[in-house]
């Protein structure tokens, strides 16, 4: 049996660039093309099932536009055989009285949608599901849990769910655990660990009984150990993903091989601009910029101005797909603190020392001191 595994399509609009061929948002057109091609390639590769690990759409709280739904339908029409979709954090309804974003795809008979943990006992492959856990539903059931403890409590809940699913697995047959959850050892595009950012299932808490363990939610493709993968998103949607090698996974249950299949994702490229001898300086990689979503980051002292139009002209001449942004990283000059402020021992002394440098504020010093005292008392309480 060959299975295609993907997730985090995030179909939606990004930026304002319009694709001249379709008249749609250019990045939405890219995502649609990549997902459509990915499904075609999965069929060509002989896949007979699709596991989508959640976040079909970009829209938050399960509210895709009709165009986004249409593009999902177009891609799934090419999906290989049996299709299963987990509900991700962008797909889930706010409460049980509402429908999930992907429910309409199930109503059309294109897929099955899982929004609660479950297990599918198939002859060829046992599939255990963990969709994204709803924080709002958790808080509704556990109103006494402190906000600072929610992620840890929900992480322990995920470990219990994984163990419960594992107890239903026949270890003598192939099995896979899939989920739209963060794994604590997974890295984000910024290089930090997910354990610092989100509700996490600890890698150490995933039962060994599962033959393969594959997760969505984190967009950076990676392999955590010999049996655990983060599939990643098939398209880039931010510059944090600039260096990612986008892909989908192809599992062959007969050989036990999990293959990483690259996608033709749109490249992202950052042009770094610095100041040398008082003038802007940059080295443009023409190959990297061509057909890429580009941005320029200008590193400059605060007393130097830069003409952005020259940078735009060069990126456009290089054949970039679009210019997402030109941002400035301004190096501020060090400012010395007055001796009076540095010598001040109390908050009141600091305020008085500061106002002494601002004659225009002397008339309202009494009011400022009264407000300062009120704020300090409020903080103490």
Q: Quick one: pLDDT at residue 143?
A: 87
Neighbours of 21 (CB within 10 A): 8
Number of domains comprising the chain: 3
Q: Quick one: pLDDT at residue 169?
A: 96
Per-residue pLDDT of 209-235, as tens digits, reads 999 999 999 999 999 999 999 999 999
- Can you tell me which residue has the tokens 């990045």? 27
Please tell me whether residues 224 and 365 are part of one structural domain.
Answer: no
Domain limit, last residue, from 331, 350, 369: 331
Domain limit, last residue, from 241, 262, 283: 262
Q: What is the reported pTM?
A: 0.83
Neighbours of 201 (CB within 10 A): 27
CA distance 330 to 133: 40
CB 181 within 8 A of CB 200: yes
Tokens representing 120? Answer: 């599918």
Domain limit, last residue, from 247, 262, 277: 262
For the chain, residues with pLDDT lower than 70 are: 61-62, 94-96, 191, 194-196, 334-345, 378-381
CA distance 378 to 381: 5
Per-residue pLDDT of 28-84, as tens digits, reads 999 999 999 999 999 999 999 999 999 999 987 668 889 999 999 999 988 888 899
Per-residue pLDDT of 118-131, as tens digits, reads 999 887 999 999 99
Please tell me whether residues 218 and 87 are part of one structural domain.
Answer: yes
Please tell me whether residues 17 and 163 are part of one structural domain.
Answer: yes
Q: Quick one: pLDDT at residue 158?
A: 96
Print the domain residue range for 283.
268-331
Q: Quick one: pLDDT at residue 369?
A: 85
Task: State CA 254 to chain mean position distance.
Answer: 33
CA distance 54 to 9: 8
Please tell me whether residues 105 and 12 are part of one structural domain.
Answer: yes
Among the residues of 174-307, which ranges form H helices?
286-289
Q: Exposed (0-12), middle (13-18) or buried (19+): which is 196, by Cβ within 10 Å?
A: exposed
Please tell me whether residues 280 and 160 are part of one structural domain.
Answer: no
Give the 3-state secondary structure of residue 39.
helix
Please tell me whether residues 160 and 288 are part of one structural domain.
Answer: no
Q: Quick one: pLDDT at residue 363?
A: 84
Please tell me whether residues 48 and 162 are part of one structural domain.
Answer: yes
């Amino acid at each position: 049996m060959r299975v295609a595994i993907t997730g985090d399509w995030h179909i939606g609009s990004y930026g304002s660039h319009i694709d001249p061929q379709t008249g749609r948002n250019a990045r939405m057109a890219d995502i649609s093309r990549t997902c459509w091609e990915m499904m075609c390639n999965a069929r060509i590769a002989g896949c007979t099932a699709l596991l989508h690990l959640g976040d079909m759409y970009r829209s938050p709280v399960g509210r895709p536009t009709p165009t986004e739904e249409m593009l999902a339908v177009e891609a799934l029409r090419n999906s290989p055989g049996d299709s299963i979709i987990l509900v991700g954090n962008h797909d889930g309804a706010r409460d049980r009285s509402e429908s999930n974003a992907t429910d309409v795809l199930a109503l059309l008979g294109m897929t099955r949608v899982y929004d609660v943990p479950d297990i599918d006992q198939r002859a060829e492959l046992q599939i255990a599901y963990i969709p994204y856990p709803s924080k709002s539903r958790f808080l509704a059931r556990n109103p006494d849990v402190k906000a600072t403890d929610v992620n840890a409590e929900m992480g322990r809940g995920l470990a219990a769910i994984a163990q419960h699913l594992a107890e239903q697995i026949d270890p003598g047959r192939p099995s896979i655990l899939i989920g739209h959850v963060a794994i604590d050892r997974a890295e984000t595009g910024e290089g930090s660990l997910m354990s610092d950012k989100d509700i996490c299932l600890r890698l150490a808490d995933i039962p060994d009984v599962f033959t393969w363990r594959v997760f969505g939610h984190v967009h950076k493709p990676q392999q955590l150990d010999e049996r655990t993968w983060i599939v990643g998103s098939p398209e880039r949607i931010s510059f944090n993903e600039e260096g990612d090698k986008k892909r989908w996974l192809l599992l062959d249950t007969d050989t036990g091989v999990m293959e990483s299949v690259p996608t033709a994702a749109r490249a992202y490229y950052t042009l770094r601009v610095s100041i040398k001898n008082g003038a802007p300086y940059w080295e443009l990689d023409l190959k990297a910029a061509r057909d890429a979503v580009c941005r320029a980051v200008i590193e400059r002292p605060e007393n130097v101005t830069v003409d952005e139009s020259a940078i735009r002209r060069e990126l456009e001449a290089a054949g970039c797909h679009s210019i997402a942004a030109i941002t400035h990283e301004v190096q501020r000059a060090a400012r010395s603190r007055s001796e009076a402020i540095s010598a001040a021992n109390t908050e009141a002394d600091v305020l008085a020392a500061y106002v002494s440098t601002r004659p225009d504020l002397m008339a309202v010093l009494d009011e400022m001191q009264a407000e300062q005292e009120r704020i300090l008392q409020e903080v103490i309480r």
